[in-house]
Amino acid sequence: MDGKMSWAVGNTVDYKGFPADRSKTGGWVPAALILGIEVSERLSTMGIAVNLVTYLGGTMHLPSSTSANIVTDFMGTSFLLCLLGGFLADSFLGRYRTIAIFAIIQTLGTGSLAIVTKLPKLRPTPCHTHIVSNCKQASEFQMGVLYLALYIIALGTGGLKSSVSGFGTDQFDEKDEKEKTQMAYFFQRFFFFISIGTLTAVTVLVYIQDEVGRSLAYGICSISMAVAIVIFLSGSRRYRYKKSTGSPIVQILQVIAAAIRKRKLEVPYDVTLLYENTPHESRIYHSDQFSLLDKAAVVTEEDMEGNNSSNPPNPWKLCTVTRVEEVKMMAKLLPVWVTTIMFWTTYAQMITFSVVQASTMDRSLGSFKIPAGSLTVFFVAAILITLAFYDRLIMPLWKKWKGKPGFTSLQRMALGLILSGLGMAAAAIAEMKRLSVAHDVGLATATVPVSVFLLIPQFFLVGAGEAFIYTGQLDFFITQSPKGMKTMSTGLFLTTLSLGFFMSSFLVSVTKKVTGGGGREGWIADNINFGRLDLFYALLTILSLLNFLVYLLFASWYKPQKVQDNGSGVEMEGLANGSHHGEEKC
């Protein structure tokens, strides 16, 4: 290797397609340019989401349950589309192009929303009563145009979100100790900048929406993303690029197809007879879990016929042990994945019904009236305080006591689930108090004489929970997934947010149907003063508790996978030409 190549970073290229030069590409500067996209995305998404429910109720004259479901469906779709973005990045576009294309789409979406909220013909006639049922609702055409703008934003968000963190980490070389340390700090700052974007959204942007105009606020979102795109593109010469290696979904389907094809075969007692040709340093230990998938690595005479170094086995018929174990690793993530969805269902209440609660309460702070959507500032503050407390106090104490640098990812997720359940319990108690006062002063009262600060405990508890569960999930799904499937694993993590929002919509619809009807308002009424939102929060508390117990069961079952040092299995370079021992069970 010549002097120039000694500076090359493995598996990455520069913008010309040549091996990336360590001295000219990657590092903190390019990573910082990428972070600007994430800050602008969070500013736009959260700036819209936390205050959209008040626009739907106050301007479009929709019932509270309908407004809440529109918000949660919008957020759910945004995160679900992360799978699409991850697939396109892995299979065709690469992370750089995926981010650029979908950031432009989101810019167009926020610009469209600015226009939609500006034109009087795209909203119903103003109504000067807080009783929504007495006002004329938005027409199907008006809602259709609004939906179009929202889901263009959702497409942009989903497309770029799954690639931003991955492209950021591409700027650091894991094999270089200095850059590996920088990568660890990148993850911390990545979440910090997300929180800064959210904080700006729920304070400055929400205030502009309520006091100046929504059109201006959404226009600011569009402009900020446009500026972030220009900054992002300016770093094109400095970035390190990893070539698309194909979708992990195809690799997973190959293992499943091969296992089904060989379902009638027996797995040999000696697992070293299973097919393996992966380089020794990249091999993964065979594990006993999901043993049915092992059949994909069973070697038959048909597999051996006609195979040589230039004609490898058909991956749809025969897979390596390592490839099978990679699929097992993804499968083992699913039980934990399922049980973390409930957190995001409780989180959804913070940007929907909690904001509706705030809009009916006394929000005065001296002569200043706090926008209802800005109550989520306590949510963001809880995240930042919790992260600082954990980093500066808990981690050093835990290292002295246990000898480990902080809680494991599973422990952090457990804390997040506990705190979210406590948050729902606090929300139920706060709503009981608010309803009690509402009954005393009259249910038709627009502003119930109860301080909005009564809602702080629920925002703070769920916010502290997010600080633990978000970092825990991000750590768990990235570190416990196969190296070639980390983009897909990130998308899998983000779908927990998506499904949590969809679960909220489902629970709201079912609760409204079961408890309402026949002239009854039910728990979730058009005007929450006439409903029993406290009972809905109590239901979520119970569901959170049950979900936490199931999580503990799955967390205790989970065992991490190990990479081999010296390989195992039959190494088949065309024909089975040798076997290697060294199996270790997890």
pLDDT for the residue 566: 41
Q: What does the alpha-carbon distance between residue 459 and residue 378 come to, in Å, rounded to a whole number?
A: 6
The residues pairing with 275 across neighbouring beta strands, listed in sequence order, are: 570
pLDDT for the residue 460: 92
pLDDT for the residue 151: 93
Q: Residue 215 burial by CB count (10 A; 0-12/13-18/19+): exposed, middle or buried?
A: middle
pLDDT for the residue 100: 93
CATH number of the structural domain 10-243+340-531: 1.20.1250.20
Least confident of 77-81, 117-121, 173-177: 173-177
| 248-261 helix and 486-515 helix, angle to the nearest 10 degrees | 80
Least confident of 17-26, 152-161, 182-191, 366-375: 182-191
More confident call, 299 vs 398 = 299
Mean pLDDT, rounded, for 153-177:
82
pLDDT for the residue 520: 76
Residue 39 confidence (pLDDT) above 60: yes
pLDDT for the residue 2: 43
Structure confidence at residue 10 as a pLDDT band (50, 70, 90): low
Cα–Cα distances in Å, from 109 out to 48, 88, 556?
Answer: 11, 20, 44
Mean pLDDT, rounded, for 324-340:
90
Residue 212 confidence (pLDDT) above 80: yes
- CB within 8 A of 313, min separation 6: which ones? 275, 303, 307, 572
* Cβ proximity of 248 and 484 under 8 Å: yes
Neighbour-count burial for 392-413, b at 16+ CB within 10 Å, e otherwise: eeeeeebeeeeeeebbebbebb
- Residue spans per domain, the chain: 10-243+340-531, 248-329+563-580
pLDDT for the residue 446: 75
* Cβ proximity of 110 and 43 under 8 Å: no
Q: What does the alpha-carbon distance between residue 79 and residue 301 come to, in Å, rounded to a whole number?
A: 46
pLDDT for the residue 546: 96
Structure confidence at residue 431 as a pLDDT band (50, 70, 90): very high
Residue 220 confidence (pLDDT) above 80: yes
Mean pLDDT taken over the chain: 83
DSSP string, 335-350: HHHHHTHHHHHHHHHH
* Cβ proximity of 291 and 267 under 8 Å: yes
Q: What does the alpha-carbon distance between residue 465 and residue 468 come to, in Å, rounded to a whole number?
A: 5
Global pTM reads: 0.79
pLDDT for the residue 573: 36
- CB within 8 A of 59, min separation 6: which ones? 123, 124
Neighbour-count burial for 378-391, b at 16+ CB within 10 Å, e otherwise: bbbbbbbebbeebe
pLDDT for the residue 109: 94
Mean pLDDT, rounded, for 177-189:
70
